[in-house]
Amino acid sequence: MRDFVLIYLNGVRREIRGREALMMLADWLRKEAGLTGTKIVCAEGDCGSCTVLRAFPDLAANAHVDVGVQDGVKVGANVGVIVGANDGANVGAIVGADHATRSAPLEFEAMNSCIVTVAQMDGSHIVTVEGMQCGDELSPAQVAMKQCHASQCGYCTPGFVMAISAMLEKHGDTNGARANVASDSGRRENTASHGGAISAQQIDAKMAANYLTGNLCRCTGYAPIVEAALTVRATEKHSVAGRYSNPAAIADALNTATKSLLIEHDGIKLFAPVSLREAVTFAAQNPGFKVLAAATDMGVQTNKGKPLPRALLSLHLVSELYQAKHSRSGILVGARVTLAQLRRLCETSAPELASFLNLFGSPQIKNVATLVGNIANASPIGDTLPFLLIADAVVHVASRPGGKGPIHKRNIAFTDLYVGYKKLALTPDEIITHVSFNATDSKELLRLYKVSQRKDMDISAISGAFSFTLAGGAKHSNFSNDLQSIAARKTKSPPRVVSARIAFGGVAATPIRMPEIEAALVGEFTMEKAQAVAHMIASAITPLSDVRGSAAYRRVTAAKLFMRYASEVLHA
């Protein structure tokens, strides 16, 4: 058992104990590590001023993973591996956990440091803005921000530098140039050919804007900042992965991660076990414990003054929970899988979900926040929940009653999971280990809609998931709304709905599926029928009023979301 958190901070090994391990990372960086380049503005994950780059070595490469095992999950080095923690291309692949895997370069991603405890960073390599320059030479993102005059008061600037650097890590080219760089002003430059470890992909205004979604600037204005992101040049020398993927440090972090972690301070206990057995034993022995996933929810509450729970369980060392894979029965996602990893996993198997996730939080949030956290948060407006309801999701839970004997596992149908406002059908000692759901059938006409006060970075006021299967098997590719298809459809007989699935978030105390409405939809589908069903939906729901919308607004909007879907179906 360890009593210290291990991190590599700008390449330097740090062991952090007790009080400091329970601090928010941004506070710790500024107050204890003296790295004040990282700024704190909102302390709620909304502004990106506290952005740092983080890489977490591939823990799953250390373990044998078997979700079907009922008791005693084997954990040990150099056995079969299911990679779930890295690039989407690898998710689900089975590879050998040899030395080469351990020495693979780290993948650095942006995250907010203000809403996460230091303890949750255990095993991570963290690079702050102070770690970006090489000697006296500024990093490419710093140079670009300077050249584009993209900073005034400078408070947001380190966050933007880190967000742009995260983009370069994924899409930059390491030969010092990018091919065919486009600026938002339309200017194009043909630059030298590219190559190197990081794939060279065209960085355009859309990509730059996506990477900067999580960063706010109050005084400069975004045009010069976006220009900086578009004109930045990556160099081999400044590659963060290249500079900080020290094989000895990676091996050290991986070896340390084979030992469970216990931090105790001031009556608070944070336990991070390496096995599911230890996790469920802790759950049984610590009534009122709270699981810490990325803490994007709890971190905000803590910063607002809510004390940390007395018993915290972090699952970040339980390698089997990083599992993310396709199987014959659908898609299986472990409790440690982030929304960014989920998005990559689902790009072809559930494409509507993948593109819907573009509207979920910012990259800094999605790179750490988990799907299971979104589920267990049990908010009626959790964005993924309507989709999971219609994708026949199943939640896999585990416990060890009394802390003795075998691990008890059971499955809960998603439709039975929410039993009241923010209440789950879990016993107090159960934790969620995985969730599984159906891949999207190519014959389904699936749409996911979200209505929020602003498009990006906002939680929904209301959201809807709709899926019809039509007689004759309408294909996804036919689900288009262009004028030609609309004109062609007008001459056809109305479509016949073979099966319908509908779910909403934000219209009741829990997310809901609507089986009666689904049954009523089977048969010929016309605009008149759609209007009648929209009325049925408005009268069947019992929305709450809150800051995001009144009950009346939500009732009208639910009906309108259905009409939007109906119109897409009728015009498909």
Distance CA 327, CA 439 (A): 9
DSSP characters over 86-122: S-GGGTT-EEE--HHHHTSPP--EEEESTTSBGGGGT
Helix, coil or strand: residue 311: strand
Q: 423 near 429, Cβ under 8 Å?
A: no
23, 50, 254, 357: which one contacts ligand FES (CB under 6 A)?
50
- The residues, ordered by sequence, that sit 6+ positions from 426 with a Cβ below 8 Å of its Cβ are 397, 412, 432
Minimum CB–partner distance for residue 174 and ligand FES (Å): 29
Which one of 71-79, 80-88, 204-212, 215-223 is the stretch in contact with ligand FES (CB under 6 A)? Answer: 215-223
Strand order across the 261-265 sheet: 261-265, 268-272, 311-314, 290-292
Minimum CB–partner distance for residue 373 and ligand FAD (Å): 2
Q: What is the CB neighbour count within 10 angstroms for residue 16?
A: 22
Residue 217 makes contact with ligand FES by CB under 6 A: yes
Residue 449 makes contact with ligand FAD by CB under 6 A: no
* Side chain identity, residue 313: L
67 versus 145: smaller Cβ distance to ligand FES: 145
Residue 376 makes contact with ligand FAD by CB under 6 A: yes
Distance CA 560, CA 557 (A): 5
At 23, list the tokens. 């601090």
The partner residues of 444 in beta bridges, in order of sequence, read 469
13, 237, 269, 290: which one contacts ligand FAD (CB under 6 A)?
290
With CB cut-offs between 5 and 8 Å by kind, which of ligand FES, ligand FAD, none does residue 151 bind?
Answer: ligand FES
Report the interhelical angle of 205-212 vs 222-231 (nearest 10°).
120
5, 55, 114, 261: which one contacts ligand FES (CB under 6 A)?
114
Residue 172 makes contact with ligand FES by CB under 6 A: no
86, 174, 220, 557: which one contacts ligand FES (CB under 6 A)?
220
At 491, list the tokens. 């001459």
DSSP 138: P
**C-alpha 567, offset from chain centre:** 31
315 versus 538: smaller Cβ distance to ligand FAD: 315
219, 223, 519, 522: which one contacts ligand FES (CB under 6 A)?
219
77, 93, 94, 153: which one contacts ligand FES (CB under 6 A)?
153
49, 62, 174, 175: which one contacts ligand FES (CB under 6 A)?
49
Residue 155 makes contact with ligand FES by CB under 6 A: yes
Minimum CB–partner distance for residue 31 and ligand FES (Å): 14
**Antiparallel, parallel or unpaired: β 80-82 and 94-96:** antiparallel
Q: 458 near 427, Cβ under 8 Å?
A: no
Q: 84 near 322, Cβ under 8 Å?
A: yes
383, 429, 444, 518: which one contacts ligand FAD (CB under 6 A)?
383
**Antiparallel, parallel or unpaired: β 290-292 and 324-327:** unpaired
With CB cut-offs between 5 and 8 Å by kind, which of ligand FAD, ligand FES, none does residue 257 bind?
Answer: none
Distance CA 341, CA 34 (A): 32
At 463, list the tokens. 């959201």
24, 33, 40, 298: which one contacts ligand FES (CB under 6 A)?
40
With CB cut-offs between 5 and 8 Å by kind, which of ligand FES, ligand FAD, none does residue 369 bind?
Answer: ligand FAD
Q: Which helix (H) or strand (E) holds 488?
A: helix 483-490
Distance CA 289, CA 192 (A): 56
Residue 377 makes contact with ligand FAD by CB under 6 A: yes
Residue 552 makes contact with ligand FES by CB under 6 A: no
Q: Which residue of the chain is nearest ligand FAD when measured via CB?
A: 373
* String marking each residue 289-318 x if it binds ligand FES according to CB under 6 A: ------------------------------
213 versus 467: smaller Cβ distance to ligand FES: 213
Residue 388 makes contact with ligand FAD by CB under 6 A: no
Return residues touching ligand FAD (CB under 6 A).
44-46, 290-298, 300, 335, 360-361, 365, 369-370, 372-374, 376-377, 382-383, 431-432, 457, 459
**Site residues for ligand FES per CB under 6 A:** 40-43, 45-50, 112, 114, 151-157, 217-220
